[in-house]
Amino acid sequence: MDLLDWLGTLLRRWWLTVPLLLLALIGTGYIAVATPWTYKAKATGVLLASPVQAKQAGGNPWLVFDSSLTVTAEVLGREMMDEKTAQDLKTQGLTSTYMVGVAPDSAGPVLAIEVTGTDASDTKKTLDSLIAMVPQKLTHLQAQESVSPKAQIKMNLISSSPKAARASTDKLRLIVMVLFLGLVITVAVPLFAEVLSERRKRGRSDLDGPGRRGVTARPRPRSSGVPTMSNGNVPRRRSSMSEPDA
């Protein structure tokens, strides 16, 4: 079938095409209305060496980045992802999901915070709460080891989203996928029905006898009742009376 044949089939079977098209449009509209928008907010922080450790660089912590800071950032990220932190956020009425860990695009002690939710206000509040909790967690980890405040690692906030941004890519991708699937079904079902109809017609024509196609069968010749030999000659009958003796 070419494109014109497809269009002809869809028009002939409009009683299938139209309802399926309406269902595809209705389903796409429902997904567009029922699926909420996704909002994201991000923040980035860096761990800096303690004043004691920064003395070797003239007191400038930005000149001291060793592997211990990266390890501390990884431990801090795991501490932020525990169940207690999630429970503390739920207690505040915050339900957005979040991820805290070492930034994948950095080899240093850069901590990345990313929050995803369906409400812009809740997403931004969750980010602010996490930003406030990270230094507290860092101080608590070091206080457990009786580290003096002058020797403790600090965190410096580099960037933070001023408000939650709507990420429309995921929702639009879902809407396009549902619409595409609906259109495929709208076209495939009538075409499949047409193929089945053609097969049934061919099956009926094959089952019809030759007389129904306008061709008469040649009559078989009637037998004369006289047996014949294999060479076509009629066998001679033997006389039932014997010849008289001489």
Same domain, 16 and 93: no
> Are 123 and 146 part of one and the same domain?
yes
Beta-strand relationship, 110-117 and 38-48: antiparallel
Structure confidence at residue 6 (pLDDT): 76
For residue 226, being part of any structural domain is answered with no
**Residue 224 forms part of a structural domain:** no
For residues 53 and 17, membership in a common domain is answered with no
Tell me the pLDDT of the chain (246 aa) as tens digits. Answer: 577 777 888 888 888 899 999 999 999 999 999 999 999 999 999 999 999 999 988 999 999 998 999 999 999 999 999 999 999 999 999 999 999 999 998 888 999 999 999 999 999 999 999 999 999 999 999 999 999 989 999 999 999 999 999 998 889 999 999 999 999 999 999 989 888 888 887 877 766 655 554 555 555 555 555 555 555 554 555 544 444 444
**What is the C-alpha separation between 245 and 157, in angstroms, rounded?**
148
Tell me, yes or no, whether 75 and 179 share the same domain. no
Q: Is 204 left (phi over 0), alpha (psi -120 to 50) or beta?
A: alpha
Q: How many domains does the chain have?
A: 2
With vertex at residue 131, the alpha carbon angle to CA 128 and CA 134, rounded to the nearest 5 degrees, is 150
Task: Indicate whether this model's pTM tops 0.75.
Answer: no
Upper half-sphere CA count for residue 10 (Cβ side, 13 Å): 18
Residues 28 and 100 in one domain: no
- In this structure, the number of other CB atoms found within 10 A of the CB of residue 75 comes to 14
